[in-house]
Structure 1
Amino acid sequence: MSRSSRTRRLSAGLAVAALAFTATGTVTAAQAVPVSPAGSSASAAEPGPLMNYVVNTRADHGHVKKAEKAIAAAGGTVVQSYDQLGVVIAQSTNPDFRADVRAEKNGRDIQSVGATRTAPVSEGPVGTAKKAAAAKGLNAGEATPAPDPREVDQWDMVQIKADQAHKVTDGSRRILVGVNDSGVDDTHPDLAPNFDAEDSVNCVNNGVPDTTAGAWRPTTSSHGTHVAGTIAAARNGIGIVGVAPGVRIASVKVVNDDGFIYPEYSICGFVWAAEHHMDVTNHSYFIDPFEFWCKDNGDQGAVQEAVRRAVAFATKRGVLSVAAAGNSNYDLANKTTDNGSPNDTTPVPRQINNDCLDMPTELPGVITVASTTQARLRSSFSNFGLNKIDVAAPGSSILSTLPGGGYGNMSGTSMASPHVTGIAALMKSTHPWWGPRDLESALRRQADDTACPTTPDARCTGTTANNAFFGEGIADSLDAVKRFW
């Protein structure tokens, strides 16, 4: 689901580059959006490009309503409101929207406003975007390959001991896992038995939930379907078996047809997961157009805060969020430069620091997963960083499901995080009373300590128990299903 930097972002596969959401950096507010002439006002300014914004206020209905009134008065349209977050997604062609909305009488309590992208809104005005052909290439009844059982090819399941864990449990149908990605082919024979259509959604129309039947399916990317298979491909005598083949999965589509995951899409996905009682969600992407969003007083700071609130809300509602570390071979603990952002217009090289976050993976409460090879080494593309990586899991040349009933190999931290998502689902199945913090703690505690390479690598700082390459170790499925924890 991601472009090269987007694709860890959708990083997986077809080559790491293909799905690797990799954009490092932070851009100033001035660089992020068109600048209007000084002194212009909402009434005097010529219309600019159609842009989407996050508007942050206090998390209560009254303040959100005031923000909505200020948005309208400043020439904006409300796209989606989240009383529970104190976040409103707005749309406007007013080039002075950020300043004008805060200057309005009802905008005095607005805390921050920021554009969610640097390119004009590709979906068009809210409510008018055409829906994607949800069943494109995925119609039920199409000819599909007749695969033979391929568990023997799944070295990744042996590395995380899933093959042993399955002798204890395949997971519970009570557990619902959200695949926040580019869409899932629910007609795939290895995914259909575990697919939950009722709780699936498409969030890529300006961040407005679309529950049209099939809207959750992929249209241009195989990424989400591959991720879904690693998590929960069914034990049905064909193809492969996922880490947690007995749990349910739902598709939360947050990647548009161009491969972008904008903040409003991701926020929609986190809130949807929370309100539909998901237990675990997988996020194999970074939020565009910046791989790193900086804590500034402009667009990036406002977006960082809005997404943080969405993640915190999901966590409070009982959702554990698991995310890919990224495919830039970048030290997340020592950020210095970003040469690829913004990735939706023209990148502007910039200096960054550790206040600039790769979202959602670096947000509080999110499990950050690095990638390993079959030889239990760090994958060359995987991001790393002492006290940034929580655990590691297989991500190089992983066999999983593809749209249309097929199977194929992909590589990326996008492939690593679904292994940990599946382990968390097994853990939740065995310990249904555990909340996100319990699961997070157990994932770290149960991981198999993995030392730095025997050939010295100065980047692998830390100890065998916790280092920059593997965090607290390679995630362990077998320990996850033991009840003595």
Structure 2
Amino acid sequence: MSRTSRPRRLSAGLAAATLALTSLSAATAYAAPLDNPTPGPLMNYVINTKASPGHVRKVEDAVKQAGGTVLSSYREFGVVVAQSTNANFKVDVRAGHNGREVQSVGATRTAAVSEGASGLSSAASVNSVGSVDETTATPVLDPRESEQWDMVQIKADQAHTVTDGSRRVLVGINDSGVDDTHPDLAPNFDARDSVSCVKNGVPDQTPGIWRPTTSPHGTHVAGTVAAARNGVGIVGVAPGVRIASVKVVNDDGFIYPEYSICGIVWAAEHHMDVTNHSYFIDPFQFWCKDNGDQGAVQEAVRRAYAWAADRGTLSVAAAGNSNYDLANKTTDTTSPNDSTPVSRTIDNNCLDMPTELPGVITVASTTQARAKSSFSNFGLNKIDVAAPGSSILSTLPGGGYGLMSGTSMASPHVTGIAALLKSTHPWWGPRDLEQALQREADDTACPTTPDARCTGTTANNAFYGEGIADALDAVHR
């Protein structure tokens, strides 16, 4: 999509009544702020602490004492997101008695916050899609289904003779927004569970806030996952499941860490079985495990995705479009992309997030000829599976259809297969789905013309991982 296309650039009120997670904590009476904090630009930060309400409350107090505002507190995994104009916030938040609870703190971006100071829109009640029941297979072609070579490659067309997926399965499209008025998406859209996270990572359910404003990317991704079988346009990999929009891409095409954390927590809290992440978290293409900002952010994001997996949400992500060997990192010349990029030396402790996080399914892209797409990232034991991503026909805002290319387009194919797997095995958790996706993928050998980058074996290599994803084998299990 341009920025949300970096082509993954073309390449979310947490409402649980039990509330171990809280958004926007109230001020604590005994937390006295600094008298004269040093003025600076408005910035957002993540602060990591021990995962318990007591420790998080103390960090919230430390934030206020340092002249900051708490945006969100995630008590079950020990992360606080805060905002401040105190230029010395990272030092001051560690000062005093409560600062001893801070394990690490880091700014989430290198440029000042563009969306302004914190604030919540009032949540509104909206209706979800119809009743939850099992969708039976009705393999009648939609008008443009014959143009979907990608569905043939992953055998989704054959899988649909078995099942189109279950209405019990909910998929999160964590992206730039979904046009829920599109005739191929409206039948499967769940507005009640949709949200926007692009105002400082604070969930907003204002009706329609989850729709796209500047980018068609999320709508295109949504169609690949679950365009309805309704006699209109195309058919998605899992046309019988429900989808929700979790908007994590702002109008400038950026996905900051607090957006992504908000989105994955929202998805888990709202019982989304699978989520698709066709993006990398800005402003660093690779977040390095250091003692500064990047290390703190890497840890906060890792905790959020691990917590969501423990809650039953599988994350599927695009591998990236830089034709880069994720298993042998050496340099990064594109980061930070919200200010001035610099050339830096990196290693494998630097992660492309969320795709390289533990438990996240990393998807590379293939062409119609089953070759690695020229843009697709790769890497031995980094890629889990591959799927079609070059010139993919799918839905566009305003009721249209169009072609897009990128690992952004490959990832939703695998997300759709995961949704079919969950439909046929509703008792399976994320780890079961992950293993099945890898096991059922079609082994794909390295190119016959030798390519030194494609290391490994036919069963598992740098270009295709465990192979090209297979929807038919998935539903036959």
- Verify same fold: TM over 0.5: yes
Matches of 1:461 and 1:217 in 2, distance apart?
41
What residue number does 2:246 align with? 252
CA distance in 2, matches of 1:190, 1:395: 20
State the shift of 1:44 in Å: 5.0
| Equivalent of residue 69 in structure 2, options 62, 77, 96 | 77
Instruction: Assess if the C-alpha contact under 8 Å between 2:354 and 2:360 holds in 1.
Output: yes
**Separation in 1, partners of 2:447, 2:351:** 27
CA distance in 2: counterparts of 1:468 and 1:114, whole angstroms: 33
| 1:211-240: CA deviation from partner (whole Å, max 9, x where unpaired) | 111010000000000000000000000100
Of residues 340, 343, 361, the one that matches 1:346 is 340
Amino acid at match of 1:3: R
Alpha-carbon distance between aligned partners in 2 of 1:42 and 1:464, rounded to the nearest angstrom = 61
* CA-CA distance at 1:307 after TM superposition: 0.3
Q: Counterpart of 1:167?
A: 161
Given candidates 328, 331, 336, the residue that maps to 2:330 is 336
Q: Does the alignment pair 1:317 with 2:311?
A: yes
Q: Using the TM superposition, name which of 371-380 and 84-93 deviates more.
A: 84-93
* C-alpha distance in structure 2 between counterparts of 1:466 and 1:453, whole Å: 13
Is the contact between residue 7 and residue 405 of structure 2 (CA under 8 Å) also seen in structure 1?
Answer: no
* Partner secondary structure for residue 203 of structure 2: strand
Distance 1:101 1:337 in 2: 32
Give the secondary structure class of the aligned counterpart of 1:339: strand
Match of 2:43 among 37, 46, 51: 51
Partner letter of residue 330 of structure 2? T
Matches within 5 A, 1:464-475: 464-475=458-469
The higher relative CO (CA closer than 8 Å, separation ≥ 6) is in 1
Aligned to 1:88: 80
1:8–1:286: 8 Å Cα contact kept in structure 2?
Answer: no
Within the alignment, does 1:232 sit opposite 2:232 as a pair? no
Contact 2:143 2:233 in 1 (8 A): yes
Q: Which residue of 2 aligns with 1:303?
A: 297
Q: Normalising by structure 2, what TM-score?
A: 0.90
Shift of 1:104: 2.4
The answer for the alignment partner of 1:9 in structure 2 is 8
Give the distance between the partners of 1:166 and 1:272, measured in 2 at CA: 30
2:353 to 352, 359, 367: 359
Match of 1:108 in 2: 100
**Residues 266-323 of structure 1, C-alpha deviations (whole Å, 9 max, x = no match):** 0000100110000000000000000100000000000000000000011000011000
| Paired residues of 2:319 and 2:355 also in contact (CA < 8 A) | yes
Cα separation, 2, equivalents of 1:44 and 1:438:
53
Alpha-carbon distance in structure 1 between the residues aligned to 2:254 and 2:335: 13
In 1, are the aligned partners of 2:122 and 2:204 still within 8 Å (CA)?
no
The code of the aligned residue for 1:179 comes to I
Match for residue 194 of structure 2?
200
Structure 2: how far apart are the matches of 1:83 and 1:130?
A: 23
Q: d(CA) in 2 for partners of 1:174 and 1:83?
A: 29
CA distance in 2, matches of 1:275, 1:113: 25
Deviations 1:148-176 (A, max 9, x none): 71000000000000000000000000000
Does the Cα contact within 8 Å between 1:332 and 1:388 map onto a contact in 2?
yes
Query: What amino acid maps onto 1:65 in structure 2?
Result: R
CA gap 1:300/1:192 in 2 versus in 1, 3 angstroms: same
Correspondence 1:278 to 2:272 = yes
Q: Deviations over 1:348-399 (max 9, x none)?
A: 1100000000000000000000000000000000000000000000000000
- Residues 9, 285 of structure 1: 8 Å contact kept: yes
Residue 402 of structure 2, aligned match among 396, 408, 415: 408
Give the counterpart letter for 2:112 in structure 1: P
Deviation at 1:84, TM superposition (A): 1.3
Structure 1: distance between partners of 2:275 and 2:38: 43
Instruction: Work out the CA distance in 1 between the residues paired with 2:332 and 2:311.
Output: 34
Amino acid at match of 2:42: L
Cα separation, 2, equivalents of 1:441 and 1:242: 23
| 2-structure distance, mates of 1:467, 1:189 | 40
3-state SS, counterpart of residue 342 of structure 2:
coil
Q: Is the 8 A contact 2:121 2:204 kept in 1?
A: no
Say which SS state the counterpart of residue 50 (structure 1) adopts. Answer: strand
Deviation at 1:43, TM superposition (A): 4.8
For structure 2, the 5+ residue unaligned runs are 12-32, 124-141
Q: Which of these residues, 425, 429, 435, is aligned with residue 435 of structure 1? A: 429
- Partner AA of 1:10 in structure 2: R
Match of 2:138 in 1: none
Which stretch shows the higher mean deviation, 225-234 or 121-130? 121-130
Residue type at the aligned position of 1:87: V
Q: Is the 8 A contact 1:447 1:476 kept in 2?
A: yes
Question: 4+ residue runs of structure 1 moved beyond 4 angstroms?
Answer: 41-45, 128-131
Letter of the structure 1 residue corresponding to residue 107 of structure 2: A
- 8 Å CA contact retained: 1:42, 1:94: no
Cα deviation for residue 345 of structure 1 reads 0.2
1:188 is matched with which residue? 182
1:391 is matched with: 385
Counterpart Cα distance in 1 of 2:280 and 2:387: 18
Is the 1:123–1:129 Cα contact (8 Å) retained in structure 2?
Answer: no
Structure 2: which amino acid aligns with 1:399? L
- TM-aligned CA distance change 1:440 to 1:300, over 3 Å: same
What CA RMSD, in Å, does the superposition of the two structures yield over aligned residues? 1.6
% same residue: 81
Q: Following TM superposition, by how much is the alpha carbon of 1:7 offset from its aligned partner in structure 2, in angstroms?
A: 2.5
Q: How far apart, CA to CA, are the structure 2 residues paired with 1:49 and 1:284?
A: 30
Aligned to 2:471, which of 469, 477, 485? 477
Task: Give the total of aligned pairs.
Answer: 439
Q: TM-score, normalised by structure 1?
A: 0.89
Structure 2 match to 1:459: 453
Which structure 2 residues correspond to residues 108-127 of structure 1 after superposition, within 5 A?
108-127=100-119
